Homo-oligomer: A and B are copies of this chain.
Amino acid sequence: MTREEQRAATRRALLAEGRRRFAADGYHDVVLADVARAVGVTKGAAYHHFEGKGGLFRAVVAQVQQELGERVARAADAHRDPWDQLRAGCHAFLAAGRDPDVRRILLVDAPAVLGWDEWRAMDEDSSARHLSEVLTTLVEAGVVPDQPVEPLARLLSGAMNEAALWLARDPDPQASEQAERALDGLLDGLRVRER
């Protein structure tokens, strides 16, 4: 194995093991040396690849964020109508929230560990941006009343974060159904009134 391959492999392994543990135990209860040992290296390797425990966590967050963004985008892109895209994207986000990685890492620990500002910025780069884009399209198409899009996107983003956390806690399929229905009701309320 070439040195570059070895390096990449170690980095990948640390990232994967870190992700597993951050999701299972939460940031605080993860011991960096244990992560390294589980991968067959020492703490020194972890510090060589990432800037300490926080750096590893940041890299994991970026990875999970990106995957989430892609999932949401794929679900939305399956539709042509912007309104259907919004609904599909939102439902995909809710479904993703049941993933324990997303739940614990992105929604619970990331804001506290990275600081809310940095978390916000990373979120903006992945899934939140899609939401603003679709809303902008809908406003321009006259489906949603003309208004600043950003505050609306924040509200919806927060609503979905919370719903995802709730769903992950309550495995009852009825809860998912109810949450999706409530979300649809909230979204439908945004449309211009037809009279």
| Chain A interface (Cβ < 8 Å from any Cβ of B) | 26-28, 108-109, 111-113, 115-117, 120, 145, 147-148, 150-152, 154-163, 165-166, 169, 175, 178-179, 181-183, 185-186, 188-191, 193, 195
Contacts and interface: CB of A to CB of B under 8 A. Distances in A.
A194 to B, nearest CB: 9
Contacts of A195: 195
Given A111-B108, A112-B26, A155 B182 contact: yes
A148 B189 contact: no
21 contacts: A28-B113, A108-B111, A108-B112, A112-B113, A120-B169, A145-B185, A147-B185, A148-B178, A151-B163, A151-B178, A151-B181, A152-B182, A152-B185, A152-B186, A154-B179, A155-B186, A158-B162, A158-B165, A159-B162, A185-B190, A188-B189
Contacts of A155: 159-160, 162-163, 179, 182-183, 186
A186 B189 CA distance: 7
Closest 9 CB pairs of A and B: A189-B189, A158-B162, A112-B112, A151-B182, A159-B159, A155-B159, A158-B158, A158-B159, A151-B178
A112 to B, nearest CB: 4
Task: Report whether over half of chain A's contact residues are helix, strand or loop; otherwise say mixed.
Answer: helix
Nearest to A191: B189
A169 B117 contact: yes
Nearest to A168: B116
Contacts of A111: 108, 112
Contacts of A28: 112-113
Nearest to A190: B189
A116 to B, nearest CB: 5
Given A158-B160, A161-B158, A189-B190, A182 B148 contact: yes
